[in-house]
Amino acid sequence: MKKTYEIAVIPGDGTGPEVVAEGLKTLETAAAKYNFACHICTYDIGGEHYLTTGETISDQQLDSLAQKDAIFLGAIGHPDVKPGILEKGILLKTRFALDQYINLRPVKLYEGVYTPIKDKLSEHVDFVVVRENTEGLYAGAGGCLKRGTADEVAIQESINTRKGVERCIRYAFEYCQTRNSARKITLCGKTNVLTYAFDLWERTFYEVAEEYPDIEANYAHVDALCMWMVKNPEWFDVIVTDNMFGDIITDLGAMIQGGMGIAAGANINPAGVSMFEPIGGSAPKYTGQQKINPIAAILAVQLMLDTIGEKKAATSVEAGVAKVLREDIKDVAAGKMGHSTSEIGDLVVDYIENSD
Ligand code: IPM
Ligand code: MN
């Protein structure tokens, strides 16, 4: 009997549906070739759905997502919905409810892709950011007083628990051990200013590091790390950090590896249901035009396959992406690819079907 995975799909808004279509095409091709099956269940969640029903994501939908083997998400964001509603009501709610406490974001320069740090080669840019995904400034702690008056006060607090910090750091060490032979991990923080939060992070980091003597553990302040990500990306293998810094440095990482069109991420609950997504937004102005690059969504499928244990299929998808980036695509930016969205998907699919 073939193994069958129950996959939830949330195409979402804007260009989400068109890049998700290419990701699913890749997934089905990999499944046929590597002898497993995927049962797809599509969810109507996003800005459009919110505007017609007033609903972001229901408890029933969350319960249903929790039963799946994995979730594939396109993009959430709608120009007619006030900022914050969909982000908090859908994305963060799902990450928190399913306890996807790791946000894993690879930063890798594939051959043939233009990067603003153009003298760096593919071998110099290949690291992963492990971002804590359920705490920090994202926990929503704080409040405001006298809103809208001259005496207004706003407080937004960063919540860091020993348990939350430790499980994230442990995941990063475990991941570092299996990734490659570099065995290097960097804690990204701000111990010189955020002396409570990052004191907890730093102590926990070095305590856990003692259990992994074969991994070189070091620390960098977030501002200096941004500089080094651009100047010396080859220094990094695994970077572990809190939610807010992780959000910021992975947008920088996406640019270093060539752009949002090829940057993917995984929201991981190692013991539960994980969610995989291209990390860019819904790009409303390109909706339906077949101009957006589906590689980010296809690499999200690769992360999904790797996480659920279909390692051969994951390797084949990545090799297909690498080939298309090296040989077929003119530019990774939307509208400049020299191909339509679905043509790029077809090129990856062809590679998977015809490689051995
Ligand atoms: C991301 C996004 C989200 C975040 C937003 C949309 C809430 O920027 O996935 O990085 O800040 O986590
Ligand atoms: Mn972000």
Residues 146 and 249 occupy one common structural domain: yes
Task: Establish whether residue 89 lines the binding site of ligand 1, counting it when its CB lies within 6 angstroms of any ligand atom.
Answer: no
Q: Which of 82, 86, 87, 245 to mutate to test the pocket of ligand 1 (most atoms within 8 A of CB)?
A: 87
**Look-up of token digits 């003597």:** 213
Task: Clarify whether residues 300 and 229 are in a common domain.
Answer: no
Q: Which parts of the chain fold into alpha helices (H)? A: 16-34, 47-53, 59-65, 85-86, 93-97, 162-179, 197-209, 222-231, 243-256, 295-308, 311-323, 341-354
Residue 353, token pair as written in the block: 């079907």
Domain boundary among 237, 256, 275: 256
- Residue owning the nearest CA to atom 6 of ligand 1: 87
Q: What is the mean pLDDT of residues 199-206?
A: 98
Indicate the residue among 256, 286, 316 that finishes a domain. Answer: 256
223/272 same-domain check:
no
Domain boundary among 256, 283, 302: 256
Average pLDDT over residues 339-353: 98
Q: Using a 6 Å cutoff on CB, does residue 300 contact ligand 1? A: no
Verify that 274 and 167 share a domain, yes or no.
no
Q: What is the pLDDT of residue 329?
A: 96
Q: Do residue 124 and residue 233 come from a single domain?
A: yes
- Whether residue 180 is predicted with pLDDT greater than 90 in this model: the reply is no
pLDDT surpassing 90 at residue 140: yes
Residues 45-67 pLDDT 10s = 999 999 999 999 999 999 999 99
State the pLDDT at residue 45. 98
Ligand 1 pocket, residue 87 CB under 6 Å: yes
| Alpha-carbon distance values, 267 to 47, 192, 212 (Å) | 21, 29, 24
Give the pLDDT mean for 279-295: 95
Residue 147 has pLDDT above 90, yes or no: yes
Residue 27 in domain: yes
Q: Which domain holds residue 1?
A: 1-106+263-356
Burial of 155 (0-12, 13-18, 19+ CB in 10 A): exposed
- 165 and 94 share a domain? no
Q: Please state the atom number of ligand 1 nearest to the C-alpha of residue 133.
A: 12
Question: Tokens in use for 350?
Answer: 């062809």
Together in a domain, 153 and 195: yes
pLDDT band with cut points at 50, 70 and 90 for residue 356: confident
Number of domains present in the structure of the chain:
2
Please check whether residues 206 and 100 belong to one and the same domain: no
pLDDT(1) > 90: no
Check which CATH number belongs to the domain holding 335 and give it: 3.40.718.10
Cα distances (angstroms) measured from residue 280 to each of 107, 153, 263, 299, 317: 14, 32, 7, 13, 20
Mean pLDDT of 347-355: 97
Give residue-wise pLDDT tens across range 82-122.
999 999 999 999 999 999 999 999 999 999 999 999 999 99
Residue nearest to atom 4 of ligand 1 (CA): 247
Looking at the structure, do residues 273 and 252 belong to the same domain, yes or no?
A: no
State residue 169's pLDDT score: 98
| pLDDT given at position 127 | 98
Q: What is the mean pLDDT of the chain?
A: 97
Q: Which residues are paired to 42 by β-bridges? A: 9
The answer to whether residue 111 is domain-embedded is no
